[in-house]
């Protein structure tokens, strides 16, 4: 009896090991309270479901009322998979939403992959509960959640970050925007035309402004959407010309909060090799926007060139933890480890850098040097 049970358990364990070995080939599925994720392997499915549960709570918190529990499906493909052409409203070379299912093909950068997931996850979430949601609001919410950052080391998720790129687009093309009365009723065909990025930026600005400055109006809009009532914007916002002026003024205020001015001045100081001044200005930019990758990277390099390896390592490690899969943070962290005599850790980081940038001469030469010194 004991022997037969032991044989049965051994067979079951053998099947489980076999399935785990096949999972990268056949794909795997993981279920969480609100998401079912299909991915090339089980660990990836579990990791994605975990972060989507966090962003789900952020989606729901923007609503002024409770909602019934939803269940969402995400299908992830391998990076080599080519997405078919899709002419629907939510379209992207790497992601789209169709039939309530989010199909996703991750990019090489983990950070970019996750912000795309959060963007199209917002489409999936809000269109599931409110299929009649206005186009400007749907896109504005998606852009709002694209302004997110994930720390892959601590698991921390930050949403609602200021979007410097969209601010720059709006600043350069503000005069090309239609009147607000016309904008809120744009057809999908016109919205997704040549000025799509400009219109997405304006949608984001409108959502961001309402969340920060007009919370009562925000709640009124959602109550009307819930009741499927017509949105009469002149009654909600007052005179639309006045609202336009408020948005323009708010845009100028946001521009000062992005740290872009300090970042541009810091780059000039960096190019002049005035690294002390560059660090001061990059630090000012990072106070305004701690998730500015350019400022973080160049401050790290400035620290490195001044011999402050501890400060450089902290900034490079921050970029790695954000999932910005760029080879140079790994490369410089490897150099710092090498200086400290930790060759094995340096080699591990260089191997990561080589996977991101195969064939890079600088990385290959340093890796050969380290392996030859062991």
Domain boundaries, the chain: 22-156, 164-257, 260-372
pLDDT by residue for the chain (374 residues), tens only, comes to: 434 544 545 454 455 444 444 444 446 899 999 999 999 888 889 999 999 999 999 999 999 999 988 899 999 876 544 544 443 444 555 788 888 899 988 876 778 888 889 999 999 999 999 999 999 999 999 999 999 988 877 888 889 888 888 999 999 999 999 999 999 999 999 999 999 999 999 999 999 999 999 999 999 999 999 999 999 998 888 888 999 999 999 999 988 888 888 998 999 999 999 999 999 999 999 998 888 889 999 999 999 999 999 999 999 999 998 877 789 999 999 999 999 999 999 999 999 889 888 888 999 999 888 887 55
What's the rounded Cα separation, in Å, for the pair 23 and 137?
39
- Return the pLDDT at 4: 53
305-327: pLDDT as tens digits: 999 999 999 999 999 988 777 89
Tokens encoding 39: 């991915």
What fold does the segment set 260-372 form as a domain?
A: 1.25.40
Taking the model in full, what pTM does it have? 0.81
What's the rounded Cα separation, in Å, for the pair 158 and 145?
9
What's the rounded Cα separation, in Å, for the pair 27 and 20?
10
Q: Where are the alpha helices (DSSP H) in the chain?
A: 2-26, 42-61, 110-129, 135-146, 164-173, 180-183, 188-191, 196-213, 215-226, 233-237, 240-257, 260-271, 275-288, 293-305, 309-321, 327-339, 343-356, 361-372
- Return the pLDDT at 11: 54
- Return the pLDDT at 164: 86
What's the rounded Cα separation, in Å, for the pair 158 and 245?
30
What's the rounded Cα separation, in Å, for the pair 255 and 259?
8
Counting Cα atoms < 13 Å in the Cβ hemisphere of 163 gives: 30
Provide the 8-state DSSP code for 161.
-
- Return the pLDDT at 3: 40
Q: Which long-range contacts (CB under 8 A, 24 or more apart) does 219-227 make?
A: 219/64, 221/137, 222/63, 222/64, 222/65, 223/64, 223/65, 225/130, 225/132, 225/133, 225/134, 225/137, 226/65, 226/130
Please, are residues 247 and 239 in contact by the beta-carbon 8 Å criterion?
A: no
For the chain, the residue count is 374
From the list 249, 248, 279, 251, the residue with the least C-alpha distance to 265 is 279
């Amino acid at each position: 009896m004991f022997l037969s049970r032991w044989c049965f358990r051994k067979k079951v364990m053998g099947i489980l090991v076999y399935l785990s070995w096949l999972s990268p080939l056949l794909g795997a599925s993981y279920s969480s309270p609100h998401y079912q994720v299909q991915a090339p392997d089980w660990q990836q499915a579990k990791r994605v479901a975990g972060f989507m549960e966090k962003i789900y709570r952020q989606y729901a918190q923007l609503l002024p009322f409770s909602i019934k529990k939803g269940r969402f499906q995400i299908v992830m493909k391998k990076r080599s998979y080519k997405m078919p052409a899709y002419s629907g409203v939510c379209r992207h070379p790497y992601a789209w939403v169709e039939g309530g299912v989010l199909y996703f093909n991750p990019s090489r950068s983990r950070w970019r992959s996750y912000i795309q997931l959060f963007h199209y996850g917002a489409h999936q979430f809000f269109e599931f509960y409110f299929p009649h949601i206005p186009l400007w609001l749907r896109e504005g919410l998606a852009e709002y959640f694209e302004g997110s950052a994930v720390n892959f080391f601590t698991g921390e998720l930050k949403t609602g970050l200021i979007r410097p790129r969209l601010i720059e687009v709006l600043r350069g093309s503000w005069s090309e925007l239609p009147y607000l009365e016309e904008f809120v009723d744009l057809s999908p065909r016109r919205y997704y035309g040549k000025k799509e990025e400009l219109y997405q930026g304006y949608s984001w600005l409108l959502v961001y402004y309402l969340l920060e400055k007009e919370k009562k109006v925000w709640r009124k809009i959602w109550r009307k959407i819930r009741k499927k009532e017509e949105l009469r914007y002149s009654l909600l916002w007052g005179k639309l010309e006045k609202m336009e002026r408020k948005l323009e003024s708010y845009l100028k205020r946001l521009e000062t909060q992005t740290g872009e001015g300090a970042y541009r001045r810091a780059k000039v100081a960096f190019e002049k090799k005035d690294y002390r001044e560059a660090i001061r200005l990059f630090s000012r930019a990072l106070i305004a926007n701690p998730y500015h990758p350019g400022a973080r990277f160049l401050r790290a390099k400035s620290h490195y060139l001044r011999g402050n390896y501890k400060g450089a390592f902290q900034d490079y490690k921050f970029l790695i933890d954000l999932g910005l899969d760029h080879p140079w943070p790994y490369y410089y962290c490897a150099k710092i480890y090498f200086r400290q005599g930790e060759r094995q850790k340096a080699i591990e980081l260089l191997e990561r850098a080589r996977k991101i940038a195969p064939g890079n001469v600088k990385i290959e030469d340093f890796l050969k040097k380290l392996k030859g010194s062991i």
